[in-house]
Amino acid sequence: MKNTAIYPGTFDPVTNGHLDIIKRAARMFDTVIVAVLNNNAKTPLFSVAARRAQIKAAVKDIANVKVDSFDGLLADYMKRKNVSVAIRGLRAVSDLEYEFQIANTNRSLNPAMETVFLMPSAKYTYLTSTIVREVYCHGGRLKDSVPPHVERGLIEFYKKRRP
């Protein structure tokens, strides 16, 4: 599929940094598929179905963005989808080393695959799903970090867990 890109990630939960990247990618490609990784190595806060629903609601006004999920290797999922471009976000130099490892590994697994790196707006440089989870877990709130429906989900999730 020409002019289609896949943006893979854990998105646990989707943040405004991810959405910034999705919006940029949607201006560059005819179709962007946001692909939620069902990662057995991590124990996610939100189920794949919940994460997909959160992303879907956040991108409902962007016509060329679709939401999907996958298990296993990204390189294999991209072959199955017949898509050659993967999008990754680069926040800072600290992301580079890890992202290079992934991109090179993916290239050796699937030589047709290209990884395109996009930079978010500077205000999202320090935003990660991990930091968002940490703050909400302890009852805090982080301004301009996640869409309102995701914030409600986080507050509800942690409320249920507290005695």
Q: Which of 124, 133, 150, 154 binds ligand ADP (CB under 6 A)?
A: 124
Position 158, amino acid: Y
Size of site (CB under 6 A) for ligand ADP: 16
Question: Taking CB under 6 A as the rule, does residue 129 contact ligand ADP?
Answer: yes
Q: Is 17 in the site for ligand ADP (CB under 6 A)?
A: yes
Residue 50, C-beta contacts closer than 8 angstroms, at least 6 positions apart: 153
Of 125, 68, 133, nearest to 94 by C-alpha is 125
* 11 lines the binding site for ligand ADP (CB under 6 A): yes
Choose among 39, 45, 42, 43: nearest CA to 15: 45
Contact present, 20 and 160 (Cβ < 8 Å):
no
Contact 126, 91 (CB under 8 A): yes
Q: Which is nearer to ligand ADP, 15 or 163 (CB)?
A: 15
Measured at CB, which residue is nearest to ligand ADP?
17
Please pick, among 52, 88, 91, 133, the residue that the annotation labels catalytic. 91
Residues that bind ligand ADP (CB under 6 A): 9-11, 15, 17-18, 21, 88-89, 91, 95, 120, 124, 127-129
